[in-house]
C-alpha cells in the first residue's frame, strides 16, 4: 500500500501553504483537493487584503498561484475526497472515495468551512433556483433585478455591495439593529443608495412558484422581531451570508471539537488531540477566518509535522 509522510486534506490557502512548506521540507506530501478544489476563495472576486498583491487579485487566480507554487516543490496534488481516516493506528489508514487506500505518517486537516443556511424548508426548495450562498457565483443571474442578502457580518456587507453593482435593489436583512461588519464595510453598505437595510428582521419563508423542475422565487416573508409585524418583499434572488460551519464530519467522535464542530488545537500549535494529526485554516479557526491566517496556520502545521517525524 502507498505510504506518505504527510497527507494534506483540502486545497484552500491552508492546505496549499502546508503543501509548499511540507514539500520544501522533503516530506513529499500528497494533497487531496476535496469537493471544492481551491476552497472558498474560488468563489470570491477581488482579494485586496492578502499581502504581496498590491493591486489585489481574483480569488481563483490566487488559488491557481498557490497550487502552482506547491507543485513547483513536488507536492503531489490529487483530485478526490478523503472518505475515512482511521485515527486509532499510526501510520493512519486513509480511504479515498475512489476506493484507494493509503497510509499516512502525519495528516494535516485543512478542510475549511461551508456556508450556513437558515434551516427553512422553503430555502432548500429554492436552493439553486433563486436561493444561493454565493453572490459572486450567482449574482450575474440577477442583473437588473431585486435581491436580498441575509446577515450582518463582513460577508453579508461584501455580498450586498457586490450585488448592488449588478442589481436594481438589494435588501440587507439583519436580525439586529447594528451590523457586525467592520466599520469600513458598514460605511460602504450605508452609503450605497440601492441597498436598503431592513433592521430587526428575520426571514419566515421564501416564496415562489415551482413547475416541474423549474423554480422561480418571487419573494420572502419577513417578521420584524421588535413589533411582530410581517411583510413580504418582492425579490428574484435570496443570498445567505450568515456564517459558516467547519467541514469536520469525517472526524466526529475521533478528534476533539468544540460545540459547533471546530477542531480544537493545542495553544500556539496546530496539533490536535491525536499525535501526528494537525489542523490548519478555517476548520480550526472561528475567530479570524482570513486567507492570510489560514495560510499562516498551514505553514505551522507543515513545520509541526516535520518536527513530529523527527
Residues with a known catalytic role: 134, 137-138
Pick the binder of ligand NDP from 17, 23, 40, 155 (CB under 6 A).
Answer: 155
Pick the binder of ligand NDP from 90, 180, 204, 254 (CB under 6 A).
Answer: 180
> Could you say whether residue 152 binds ligand NDP (CB under 6 A)?
yes
Q: From 280, 240, 67, select the one nearest 156 (Cα to Cα).
A: 240
Closest distance of CB 84 from ligand NDP, Å: 29
CA gap 282, 279 in Å, rounded:
9
Q: Which is nearer to ligand NDP, 61 or 72 (CB)?
A: 61
Closest distance of CB 290 from ligand NDP, Å: 6
Pick the binder of ligand NDP from 158, 236, 285, 306 (CB under 6 A).
Answer: 158
Closest distance of CB 53 from ligand NDP, Å: 13
The region that residue 298 occupies, defined by phi over 0 for left and psi between -120 and 50 for alpha, beta otherwise, is: alpha
Q: Which is nearer to ligand NDP, 77 or 220 (CB)?
A: 220
Say how many residues touch ligand NDP, by CB under 6 A. Answer: 17
The three cell numbers of residue 33 are 483537493
Strands (E) in the chain, as ranges, are: 2-9, 30-32, 46-47, 57-58, 76-78, 82-86, 92-96, 101-109, 113-115, 131-132, 146-150, 169-173, 195-198, 201-211, 214-224, 230-234, 237-240, 244-246, 277-279
Beta bridge partners of 106: 6
Pick the binder of ligand NDP from 68, 176, 232, 266 (CB under 6 A).
Answer: 176
Pick the binder of ligand NDP from 35, 103, 118, 207 (CB under 6 A).
Answer: 118
> Could you say whether residue 243 binds ligand NDP (CB under 6 A)?
yes
Closest distance of CB 37 from ligand NDP, Å: 21
Pick the binder of ligand NDP from 151, 237, 246, 276 (CB under 6 A).
Answer: 151
Residue 54-73 contact track with ligand NDP, rule CB under 6 A, x = bound: --------------------
Our CA dihedral for 155, 158, 160, 164, rounded to 10 degrees, sits at -160
> Could you say whether residue 205 binds ligand NDP (CB under 6 A)?
no
- What is the SS3 string spanning 156-194? HHHHHHHHHHHCCEEEEECCCCCCCCCHHHHHHHHCCCC
Amino acid at each position: 500500500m502507498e505510504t506518505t509522510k504527510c497527507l494534506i486534506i483540502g486545497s484552500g490557502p491552508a492546505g496549499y501553504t502546508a503543501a509548499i512548506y511540507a514539500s520544501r521540507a522533503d516530506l513529499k506530501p500528497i494533497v487531496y483537493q476535496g469537493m471544492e478544489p481551491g476552497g472558498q476563495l474560488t468563489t470570491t472576486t477581488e482579494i485586496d487584503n492578502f499581502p504581496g498583491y498590491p493591486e489585489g487579485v481574483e480569488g481563483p487566480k490566487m488559488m491557481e498561484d498557490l497550487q502552482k507554487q506547491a507543485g513547483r516543490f513536488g507536492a503531489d496534488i490529487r483530485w478526490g475526497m478523503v472518505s475515512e481516516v482511521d485515527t486509532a493506528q499510526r501510520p493512519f489508514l486513509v480511504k479515498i472515495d475512489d476506493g484507494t487506500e493509503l497510509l499516512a505518517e502525519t495528516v494535516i486537516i485543512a478542510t475549511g468551512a461551508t456556508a450556513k443556511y437558515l434551516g427553512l424548508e422553503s430555502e432548500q426548495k429554492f436552493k439553486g433556483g433563486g436561493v444561493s450562498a454565493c453572490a459572486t457565483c450567482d449574482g450575474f443571474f440577477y442583473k437588473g433585478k431585486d435581491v436580498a442578502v441575509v446577515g450582518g457580518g463582513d460577508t453579508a456587507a461584501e455580498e450586498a455591495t457586490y450585488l448592488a453593482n449588478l442589481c436594481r435593489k438589494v435588501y440587507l436583512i439583519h436580525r439586529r439593529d447594528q451590523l457586525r461588519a467592520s466599520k469600513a464595510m458598514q460605511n460602504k453598505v450605508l452609503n450605497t443608495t440601492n441597498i436598503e437595510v431592513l433592521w430587526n428582521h428575520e426571514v419566515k419563508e421564501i416564496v415562489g412558484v415551482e413547475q416541474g423542475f423549474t423554480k422561480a422565487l418571487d419573494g420572502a416573508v419577513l417578521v420584524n422581531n421588535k413589533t411582530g409585524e410581517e411583510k413580504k418583499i418582492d425579490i428574484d434572488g435570496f443570498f445567505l451570508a450568515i456564517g459558516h460551519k467547519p467541514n469536520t464530519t469525517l472526524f466526529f467522535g475521533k478528534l476533539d471539537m468544540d460545540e459547533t464542530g471546530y477542531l480544537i488545537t493545542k495553544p500556539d500549535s496546530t496539533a490536535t488531540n491525536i499525535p501526528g494529526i494537525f489542523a490548519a485554516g478555517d476548520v480550526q479557526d472561528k475567530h479570524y477566518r482570513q486567507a492570510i491566517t489560514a495560510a499562516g496556520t498551514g505553514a505551522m502545521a507543515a513545520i509541526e509535522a516535520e518536527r513530529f517525524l523527527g
